[in-house]
Structure 1
Amino acid sequence: MSYDEFYIKSVVRAIPDWPEAGVIFRDVTPVFKDPRAMRMVCDAFIQRYMRTGITHIASVDARGFLLGSVVAYQLNLPLVLIRKKGKLPGTTLSREYQLEYGKAAIEMQTDALEPGNRVVIFDDLIATGGTLLAAISLIHELGAEVEEVAALIDLPDLEGSQRIQDSGIPVHALLAYEGL
């Protein structure tokens, strides 16, 4: 583990038994409060995507916006927002996905992407992968290609990153936490 990874991991807060008993919640909000950690995270992603030929950054509501917007700004790329249903004006596409306790839906504006665009999707954390798989589906419906899914944290025991990779999309996470 590099010094940067060690430092960032030391800033992420573990909250036991939240949202339910037996779960260790990985709280990334301290990263956003620590300028050094935030710079390390964003710089790592900027370096990764600097010379890749991607044309757009897509970010998932809401903490994905914080990472994706910085990366899009630094790489001088358009930022595409993927939001919870009912939050975007204009004509949108919508996708439902399963949660542990029901269903949710995300949306994207129909003019956000076009065929030939090459997109990296940002989110803060990969758990079961439902939200990101729905985002991939929306992007593909507009004819664009997803080059990679990027996240600060992967929780591999929940198999979301594996589901995304099984769909043919590479995954890059800066940190991984084993165990629930």
Structure 2
Amino acid sequence: MRGSGTGDGPVTDRHWPGSARLAASCALAFFALTVLVDWDAGTLTVARAALWLALSAAVFAVLLPQRVSAGRGWLMTRGPLGRRVVRTDALVSVRQSGGITTRLVLRDAHGGRLELDTRVLAANPFLWHELDTGLRRSVHRGTLLHGEDAFRRLGERIDTETARAVLRASGLS
């Protein structure tokens, strides 16, 4: 898994390990606190401890973000419920949906469908580059039927955020 943008291997979300550790820490803290409160109340049993463990596992599953990776012509997300892959060089539609967080919905010509948080793309320039390159191939091949404008707007937003971050880091803003 490359992180520097060199080589031909897959690119992954560089922030995922920290997010996974945070999810595990929250689940562990939840388990410890519930068992401690139950023990202090004198009501802790093996069945109740198993219940707290199951609820902690559910907390972990809810908090664990999708793991996003990309390579030449593909994008994949893996989560607790499985993995989804789309061919970025054969996309037929790109759509943004969102309420609190904006999600990108991608569909390819082979029936693949994938949804991911746009913040992952904004925080990982190499993932964004792989997706952008694949989308340009889709446009060139004529498979992209819907969503080129939505993708262009997303690209402009990510480029603006990246430029602001560079200016902040350099002290110019």
Compute the TM-score of the two structures, normalised by the length of structure 2. 0.27
Q: Which has the higher helix share?
A: 2
> Highest Rg: 1 or 2?
2
